[in-house]
Amino acid sequence: MRVGFVVGGFPLLSETFVVDQMAGLLARGFDVEVVCDRTKGDDRIDRQMEPMATLLARTQHWWRWAAGISEFVRRLPPRLRYKASTALDMVFARRLNHCDVIVAHFGQNGERAAALKKWKVLKPPIITIFHGADVAIPARQAVLATQYAGLIKHGSLNLPVNDFFRRMLLEAGASQASTTVHHMGIDPREISYRWESWEGTQLIVTTVCRLVEKKGVEFALRALASLAASHPEIDWRYDIVGDGPLRVGLEKLAVELGLAGRVTFLGSLPHMEVKRRLRMAHLFLLPSVTASDGDMEGIPVALMEAMAAGLIAVSTHHSGIPELIEDQETGLLAPERDVSVLATKLAWAAEHPQECERIAVAARRKVEDDFNADVLNERFAQMVAQLATSASAPEPGKHAGAAEVLASPSSAGLGG
């Protein structure tokens, strides 16, 4: 069975969940190929190791030999750009018809595939996975229904990564029958659990993220400044791993808040060094917020990894995060942008290491039970196989019955 993945850039270090899902299908005997807009060159990605070597060998640009004119097309006026892009898609996308199923990561790529359905160029059923900005920003702009009109009509399965986005899609007109939650996950076997109490020693707080608005690092700094003022007896330090457009402003804010000696901006680090830093840490702080343009998290993989490793995750009631973290049970949550409550949560954690061990154990179990990538990949493989089978059935309109795929006994509990 052949599955065609439609993505933007490939491979991207920030989208390892896409590669993990492809690898999950490869391991189960599926043939996988990738169609993308651009092949990214990232020195941090080992292109010789599997499954990356196999996937790159099966990766092609949307427009194949015409890829060289993509920059020219992007500079055209919007209406002309749309017409030129659609015409090129129609010319080159027919090769996707030898796939049994198309899987699009991010809504805009699903809509692009759905446009080809509209013109009767593309035949296989389309599964679209929605991750974050692709739902949240158009929802904020009240254009979600119009932006994905083709996908709502021609897509077979819509798989948002959390229930918060599922409700948005349903309000935009997606059908209950074709829309269900499918979480992204991690492989807990690759992350060893380690609990170490900070009682009688310095509390090490860590954040690993891209420094953009929705990650809420500004509020992490303000909460720690509040903690320093209200609990001067607590010894802590804060390490921030990652880079991004807000770094300079955040470094300046740390100085203004009097935290320069306790906060370290480490920038982007190699993967092994990031893992070492996490092993040293006690708390993982990610107070995510809705950005000014409406951008939101899905459910951050970084939180899953921290919880699997035995860190106490401190985050916010934001988007799908409460589907991963239950306050005081598997982590600690504060309202978005609420510096006072966030500081209170940090103080409680600092002062209650014994109680936090119970939370850490429960957090590891939560990840193993509900965000296990191997289990989720098996469920996804079942969905793909069942959709392909129904699409190839001789009965007229058979593949339109997405509800049958979601409700079949072998795919019970697909919401993760």
The alpha carbon of 62 is separated from its chain's Cα centroid by a whole number of angstroms, namely: 23
| Phi and psi torsions of 207, nearest 5° | -130, 135
| Sequence-ordered list of residues with C-beta below 8 angstroms from that of 16, at least 6 positions apart, any chain | 301
Q: What is the mean pLDDT of residues 58-66?
A: 90
Q: Phi and psi dihedrals of 296, rounded to 5?
A: -140, 160
Predicted local confidence at residue 404, as pLDDT: 58
What is the number of other CB atoms lying within 10 angstroms of the CB of residue 308? 24
Which phi and psi angles does 372 have, rounded to 5°? Answer: -85, 115
| Residue in the block written with tokens 């590669």 | 19
Q: Which of 11-25, 300-314, 316-330, 336-350 has the lowest mean pLDDT?
A: 11-25
Average pLDDT over residues 284-292: 98
Strand order across the beta sheet in which 59-61 lies: 59-61, 31-36, 2-6, 101-105, 126-130, 157-160
What is the Cα–Cα distance from 61 to 316, expressed in whole angstroms? 39
Q: How confident is the model at residue 12 (pLDDT cuts 50, 70, 90)?
A: confident
Beta bridge partners of 127: 103, 157
Cβ(303)–Cβ(286) under 8 Å? yes
**Ranges 42-56, 78-92, 245-259, 292-306: which has the least confidence:** 42-56
Distance CA(86)–CA(93), nearest Å, equals 10
| Amino acid 391: pLDDT | 80
Q: How far apart are CA 316 and CA 308, in angstroms?
A: 18
15-21: list long-range contacts, CB under 8 Å, 24+ apart: 15/105, 16/301, 17/184, 17/301, 18/105, 19/51, 19/52, 19/55, 20/187, 20/373, 20/377, 21/103, 21/184, 21/377, 21/380
Q: What are phi and psi of 44, to 5 degrees?
A: -80, -10
Residue 272 has a pLDDT of 83
Give the span between the Cα atoms of 325 and 349, in whole angstroms. Answer: 15
Write down the pLDDT at residue 403: 54
Question: What value does the mean pLDDT take over residues 260-286?
Answer: 92
Report pLDDT for 414. 38
Beta pairing partners, 101:
3
Distance CA 148, CA 109 (A): 10
Instruction: Give the model's pLDDT for residue 393.
Output: 65
Position with higher pLDDT, 289 vs 93: 289
Strand partners, 285: 314
Asked whether the beta carbons of 207 and 198 are under 8 A apart, the reply is no
> pLDDT digits over 388-412, tens only?
998 876 554 444 445 556 655 444 3
- In this prediction, what percent of the chain has a pLDDT beyond 70? 94
Match 């809509």 to its residue by tokens: 111
Mean pLDDT to the nearest integer, 356-380: 97
Q: What is the distance between the alpha carbons of residues 244 and 212, in angstroms, rounded to a whole number? A: 6
Report the predicted TM-score, pTM, of the whole model to 2 decimal places: 0.90
